[in-house]
Amino acid sequence: MRIAIISDIHSNLEALTKAMEIIDQRSVDEIICLGDVVGYGANPNECLELVSQRCGTVLKGNHEDAVEHNSLTEHFTDAARAAVFWTQQQLTKNNFEYLCTLPLSYKTGDLFFVHASPCHPEEWQYIFDDTDASAAFRCFSELICFIGHTHTPILFSTGGLSQTLSREERFIINVGSIGQPRDRNPELSFGIFDTRTWTYNNIRSAYDIETAAQKILDTSLPPKLGHRLFKGM
């Protein structure tokens, strides 16, 4: 089975649409979304609806949690907090209710999926480096844990940073961000995992950043949320 794993769309319909076009060309059997469908961008309703239609599993991210529970925005940046409140005002009743029902994690076979960290998923911990990853390996038993949250694609093995998979080690794989990459590469990022060959590919692609950014600038969202799309940060 070939699984596409997407994450951190952040209401960027242009990036999500492009990712779906690529997925449709890659003979993928299933799409799993790791959360943060909303936040930052200008199309929360459209992104939620597309993800709910196309993905077999959709998880809750910290931005969905913050839309449901505003107290979580205490730890957000000013721009992120403003985006949460703006998103709340835009969401349809059905989309808000759908967002609130999303689970925090998903397991299938030797694979574990979560938005941020397998350690207390509801606490939205970050996995930035080997030290963070070492602690996280103790919180799941599967061979691979797929995550998002940091917006930066990277592979950690039990031995440290890695470039390729093997069945002899366990891995934490960050698939990066569809709608707001933060590795100074503005191209969208997601992953495709093949359960038969036990291989993983990180997919990067350009998309219509100009339209996505202009949509943000045409709203009352903080303008910096549009400008930074061009910088991948």
Write out pLDDT tens, residues 10-40: 999 999 999 999 999 999 999 999 999 999 9
Residue 113 lies inside a defined structural domain of this protein:
no
Residue 151 lies inside a defined structural domain of this protein:
no
- 171-174/144-147 β-pairing: parallel
Write out pLDDT tens, residues 91-137: 999 999 999 999 999 999 999 999 999 999 999 999 999 999 999 99
Domain span holding position 42? 2-107+177-230
Residue 158 lies inside a defined structural domain of this protein:
no
Q: Rounded CA gap, 5 and 142, in Å?
A: 17
Residue 139 lies inside a defined structural domain of this protein:
no
CATH of the domain at 39: 3.60.21.10
Residue 128 lies inside a defined structural domain of this protein:
no
Residue 76 lies inside a defined structural domain of this protein:
yes
Residue 197 lies inside a defined structural domain of this protein:
yes
CA angle, corner 160, sides to 158 and 165, nearest 5?
Answer: 65
Residue 37 lies inside a defined structural domain of this protein:
yes
Write out pLDDT tens, residues 162-187: 778 888 899 999 999 999 999 999 99
Q: Rounded CA gap, 158 and 231, in Å?
A: 32
Number of domains within the chain: 1
Q: Quick one: pLDDT at residue 161?
A: 79
Q: How distant is the alpha carbon of residue 152 from its chain centre? A: 10
The structure's pTM equals 0.96
